[in-house]
Chains A and B, each alone.
Chain A
Amino acid sequence: MDLPRVTSSSISRAIFISLLLIQQLTAPAQQPRKVIAIAPDTIPLLRGIQISADMVGLIQMAVSDYGQYEAALKVNLKDKYFPVVELGLGKCDATDPSTTLGYKTSAPYGRIGVDYNLMKNKHDIYRLYGGFRYAFSKFSYDVLSQGITDPVWREKVPFGATDVDGSYHWLEGVLSIDAKIWGPVRMGWSVRYKRRLFHKHGDIGEAWYVPGFGRGGNTRLGGTFNVSIEI
């Protein structure tokens, strides 16, 4: 006679425990949700304008046969996006004493692109940028020589060409960094990976130095050191 009562008691206990468990599972869903208020972005779109000059080109110009004068205008949008225009004048006047060959050019170039501030805190005084540039230069170059001697026919032959038209289009991937030094003055470096898109050159051969691109051929890497003023 005791057996049915024990069974009934066990069933009741199981149902009670199950209800408790269901309540535990459903309880959080029934609690009111916490609403996290997202602070509105109060940073204005236009945060400033940055004007900079490249020092590497100036040093190159002083210590080597080629270099460039380059300035850039960068617009600060929300400390996040930085559309940029870079304009410069590239010059080369090189002569090799062993071959007595000379190369001369002087022409403007331009780049346009955008940098993105990779820092987590966009408003820090340091900025780490990743970006790209599309660049173009149209120029003319001279290849100068005192002439070369034909080894078989034994006669001196003129060699060279002047006002050879050339053009270069290329892309640059840019990784750069800059920091606020004092007041509106900022300084920073950039390292650039360059990739030629298409080009034009004269019959005599490819341009040895391209304004803005640097040495032609296998040149892939470049860099700048910028001193800038942000207002």
Chain B
Amino acid sequence: MRKMFWLLAAMAILVAACSTIDCSLNSRVAATYKLAGDVKKLATPLTVTAYLGDGNDSVILNKLADADSFQLPMSYNHHEDTFYFKSDTTANAPTDTVVITKEDIPHFEAVDCNPIFFHEIKGVRHTRHFIDSIVVNNKHVTNGPSKSNFFLYLKSDIH
């Protein structure tokens, strides 16, 4: 009986000593764009620039080629994000403006995990120079493995 007492005491101390960090392995939250339709791979390099809202732009995807999908970040606190999709690297290359409307959702896991924002896509609109259409496939943008958020249809006569 005494042995049992000390065994349980040791177990309780071990339990009290246990500490775990339950953060997600992937803390990056980004929307996934997958090429669909006739053009299933980027034949010419694609550069995407984000409009920061203060008159400045920032390149967030630089000359991506030969890919069938890519990821773009979303802002933490803007109702709309504006991106400039530029196909090819030449000066006169066609550029499309893509505007994503979304809701930002703060996501908390634990005090020792970095805070992140999830997003819920409300809509998308764009110009049609080389993009044929963009379809919302999955409106939830999270850090987990999930379906592609957008299907991107490019015009086949340009690519």
Contacts and interface: CB of A to CB of B under 8 A. Distances in A.
A99 B115 contact: yes
A222 B13 CA distance: 10
Contact of A56 (B16, B53, B113, B117): B16
Interface in B1-15: 1, 4-5, 8-9, 11-12, 15
Contact of B12 (A143, A179, A219, A223): A223
Contacts of B110: 103, 208, 217
A154 B52 contact: yes
A222 B15 contact: yes
Given A205-B107, A205-B108, A208-B111, A221 B18 contact: yes
Contacts of B15: 191, 221-223
B12 A191 contact: yes
A96 interface: yes
Contact of A150 (B4, B5, B11, B75): B75
Contact of B5 (A95, A151, A189): A189
A60 B107 CA distance: 27
B8 A101 contact: no
B5 A179 contact: yes
Given A126-B1, A222-B15, A148 B76 contact: yes
Interface in B50-93: 50, 52-53, 58, 60, 73, 75-78
Interface string A161-204: 10000000000000111010000000001110000000000011
B132 interface: no
B38 interface: no
Given A95-B111, A143-B108, A204-B106, A153 B12 contact: no
Nearest to B20: A218
A189 to B, nearest CB: 4
A189 B111 contact: no
Given A153-B75, A204-B106, A218-B20, A223 B111 contact: no
B77 A103 contact: no
Contacts of B16: 56, 60, 223
B114 interface: yes
Given A101-B115, A218-B22, A225 B106 contact: no
A157 interface: yes
B111 A103 contact: yes
14 contacts: A56-B12, A101-B113, A145-B115, A148-B76, A150-B75, A152-B58, A153-B76, A153-B78, A158-B77, A189-B8, A203-B105, A215-B20, A221-B15, A223-B15
Given A101-B108, A191-B11, A223-B16, 7 more contacts: A56-B12, A99-B114, A148-B76, A152-B73, A208-B108, A218-B22, A223-B12
The 4 residue pairs across chains A and B that have the minimum distance between CB atoms:
A223-B12, A205-B108, A96-B111, A157-B76
